[in-house]
Amino acid sequence: MAASAVAAPAPVPAADAATLAAIEATCLDYIDGQLEADPARVARALHPDLAKRAVIGDTPDERLGLRRMSKDELVSLTRQGVLKTPKAQWDRSCRILDVTAETAVVRLETPWFVDHFHMGRFGDRWIIVNALWHPKPR
């Protein structure tokens, strides 16, 4: 049996600086808005039909279970200050993994969780359409 190989991460696809900056700004609106407890900032980063999910696995009620969250739920949690954190403790990074004319894939990492985003370009705006996340071990 042949050993499987893992490909090295590809470099960020060619995209102009303004596009990369706009994608990063959306990622930062998402996380910094939560850390500041600024629901308007979070809301502008999210598609109205956002699908935010976390894998929970099989449960008594569901096979291949997912924890699901909508845009409204995330904005409400932000309004409640659930992730509000003093700025001195912010440690987050947005890494753009792939970009096409209309879509982008981004990895957000914080000390608490990792999110993988699918973003769409709507006119001049980049918006998070899907987010698959997992908490980091404590």
pLDDT for 58 beyond 60: yes
pLDDT bin (cut points 50, 70, 90) of residue 12 is low
Q: Two tokens at 96?
A: 């753009």
Q: Mean of the pLDDT values across residues 42-46?
A: 98
Is residue 49 classed exposed, middle or buried when 0-12, 13-18 and 19+ CB atoms within 10 A define those classes?
exposed
Q: Two tokens at 25?
A: 């700004």
Nearest one of 135, 137, 128 to 27, comparing CA atoms: 128
DSSP 37-60: T-HHHHHHHEEEEEEEEEEEE--S
So what's the pLDDT on residue 59?
A: 75
Q: What is the pTM of this model?
A: 0.85
